[in-house]
Structure 1
Amino acid sequence: MKINENISQKWLEIIQKEKNKEYFKNIEKKINEDIKSGITIYPPIENIFNAFEKTAFEDIKVIILGQDPYHRPGQAQGFCFSVPEGMKLPPSLKNIYKEINNSLQIDNKNNGDLTSWTKEGVFLLNAILTVQAGNPASHSKIGWEKFSDEIIKIISLEHEKVIFLLWGAFAISKKSLIDTNKHIVLESPHPSPFSAHRGFLGNNHFKKTNEILKSWGKKEIDWKV
C-alpha cells in the first residue's frame, strides 16, 4: 500500500512505523490476496490513506469516527461518511446533514463530498480502512482496528484539545483510548436511519463543537460543503 507524497511528515512517520509491524503486514497480505483473486477493494488502493492526506496531523481539531468504507461502486473516498459530489447521499449522511440544518441552518443536501471539512481540521477516520466490493465489514478483524486504535491513542497523547465525535456503540467503545482530561468527547446514537431518532437528531454536536472551539480560541468549523 503506497502512501502518497502529499501526506504530512508526521503522518508519514506514524504510518510507516505501523506498517513495519507484523499485524500490518497481515493487513497487506489479505488485501493483496483479495486483489489477486479478482476481488474489488474499496476505496481504490491509492485512496486508502486519504483521510490522513487531507488533514495534516498538526491541523486536527475534530475527529469523526466511522466504522468501515462504503461497499458500493464509486462511493468510498478514503474518509468516513463522505461520497463524491453528484453521488446519491447515503442514509447516514442525510441524517448528518439534517442535524446540521436543524441546529445551524446550513443546507448541504445536494453534495455528499466532505473534503471541505477535512481542510477545516476535521479528521474523518474509518476504524476499518478497506472493504470488499458488495461485502460490508469484510475487512473487519484483519488488523485495521488495531491500526486505527493506535492512531486514536497517538492523537490523544500528542495533541491538546481535540473534540471527538463518537456516534453509535462501535465508536463509543473507543472512548477508553482517549484522555478525557485534555480532550472533549461528544457521544450519541449513530446517524443511521435505524438509530438517528433515538438521539442523534437533536444532539447538537456540530453546534456544540463550534461553541467549544470558540471557547478555546480556535477557528470554528464551516460545516457547509
Structure 2
Amino acid sequence: MPARALDELMEAGWAQALAPVAVQISAMQEFVRDEATQGRDPLPAQENVLRAFRQPFRDVRVLIVGQDPYPTPGHAVGLSFSVAPDVRPVPRSLGNIFAEYSEDLGLPTPGNGDLTPWSERGCCCSTGCSPSSPAGRLPIEARAGRP
C-alpha cells in the first residue's frame, strides 16, 4: 500500500509548508507501517504520528518541539509533551512545563496532561523526530538506520 498524500494526513496549510520534505514523510509512513505489520507498534499510534499538523497552519502562534515521543505505551498521543487525560502522574517534563506555565502566567496548573486545548488555541506541539517504540526497544529511527 503506497504512503498517503500529505493533504490526506494533515491540514492543507501544513501539507503545503511540508511539501519540500514529502519524500521523507512518505518514507517514515512506510517504515512505521512495516514496523506495525511486524507487531512493533509505534508510539504514538500510527493514526496520531502526524496529529500535531491537524490544526490549521495559519492559526499556529507558537511551536513547541519535543525531543521524541514518550516511550511508555499509552503516554504518547501525537502532541509533544501531551498525554491522555487519565495518565497520572503526568510525566516529569510536562510537570515542569506546567510549573513554568503556572508561575509565569499566574494561572492554575492544568487538571490533566492533555494538551489538545493548547493545540486548538494555536500551540503546535510537535516532536523533532520520528515515532518511538515501547520502552526497552530501540527508537524507530535507529532501526531505520537514521541518525
TM-score, structure 1 normalization: 0.55
Change (3 A) 1:16 1:46: farther
Distance 2:93 2:129 in 1: 17
Q: State the match for 2:39 in structure 1.
A: 38
Amino acid across the alignment from 1:9: A
| Structure 1 stretch displaced more, 37-46 or 132-141 | 132-141
Residue identity (%): 27
Q: How far off its partner does 1:63 sit?
A: 0.9
Return the index of the structure with the highest Cα Rg.
1
Tell me the equivalent position of 2:61.
Answer: 61
Question: What letter matches 2:11 in structure 1?
Answer: S
Which structure has more relative contact order (CA 8 Å, sep 6+)? It is: 2
Conserved? CA contact 2:28–2:130, under 8 Å: no
Q: Displacement, 1:143?
A: 8.6
1:1-225 to structure 2, matched below 5 A, reads: 2=4, 7-15=10-18, 18-19=21-22, 21=23, 23-53=24-54, 55-88=55-88, 89-135=90-136, 138-140=139-141, 142=144
Q: Secondary structure at the match of 2:68?
A: coil
Q: 1:119 to 1:110 in 2, by over 3 A?
A: same
Residue 87 of structure 1, CA deviation: 0.7
After superposing on structure 2, the runs of 4+ consecutive aligned residues of structure 1 that deviate more than 6 Å are: none
| Structure 1: gaps spanning 5 or more residues | 146-225
> Normalising by structure 2, what TM-score?
0.80
The equivalent residue for 1:150 is: none
SS of 1:64's equivalent?
strand
Change beyond 3 A, Cα 1:143–1:16: farther
d(CA) in 2 for partners of 1:129, 1:82: 16
- Partner Cα distance (2:145, 2:59) in 1: 26
For the 8 Å contact 1:128–1:144, the answer to whether it is kept is no
Q: Deviations over 1:18-74 (max 9, x none)?
A: 33x2x4444234323322321121111111111000x31111111111111111121
Structure 2 residues without counterparts, runs of 5 or longer: none
Distance change >3 Å, CA 116–CA 6, structure 1 → 2: farther
* Deviations 1:192-216 (CA, angstroms, capped at 9, x unpaired): xxxxxxxxxxxxxxxxxxxxxxxxx
Report the secondary structure of 2:140's partner residue.
Answer: coil
Which AA in structure 2 matches 1:108?
T
Instruction: Name the CA distance, whole Å, in 1 between partners of 2:48 and 2:96.
Output: 25
What is the aligned residue count? 142
